[in-house]
């Protein structure tokens, strides 16, 4: 849901700043590509831990993920990921939206 909100915001901005629909969609694509690429990458690799029939992967997930959430920097990265703010493993996250 958070990514859909980011998509909607960027599409709105692209439509406001570009002269025609084709240009606006290309602008939108350029702006969203890296952000969405990270989530595609993460989903591709984490799917095995959540939707596999291999019991060992579930065991590893159940052991490792709770440990990560106890380590401050990893917890913050996890929260940014779930909030839809991450743009890559080492790229800076998007700033949180202002109230």
The fraction of the chain above a pLDDT of 90, given in percent, is 32
**Residue length of the chain:** 99
- Confidence at 90, pLDDT banded by 50, 70, 90: low
- Assess whether pLDDT exceeds 70 at residue 97: no
Report pLDDT digits (tens) over 7-30. Answer: 999 999 999 999 999 999 999 999
Global pTM reads 0.64
pLDDT for 99: 52
- Assess whether pLDDT exceeds 70 at residue 72: yes
The answer to whether residues 57 and 49 touch, using CB atoms and an 8 Å cutoff, is: yes
Other Cβ atoms less than 10 A from the Cβ of 48: the count is 13
Query: DSSP assignment, residue 69?
Result: T
């Amino acid at each position: 849901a958070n990514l859909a909100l980011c998509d909607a915001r960027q599409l709105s901005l692209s439509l406001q700043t570009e002269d025609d629909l084709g240009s606006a969609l290309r602008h939108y694509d350029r702006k969203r590509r890296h952000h969405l690429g990270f989530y595609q990458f993460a989903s591709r690799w984490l799917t095995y831990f959540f939707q596999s029939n291999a019991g060992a992967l579930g065991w590893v997930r159940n052991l490792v993920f709770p440990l990560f959430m106890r380590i401050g920097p990893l917890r913050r990265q996890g929260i940014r990921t779930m909030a839809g703010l991450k743009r890559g493993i080492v790229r800076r996250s998007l700033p949180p939206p202002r109230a």
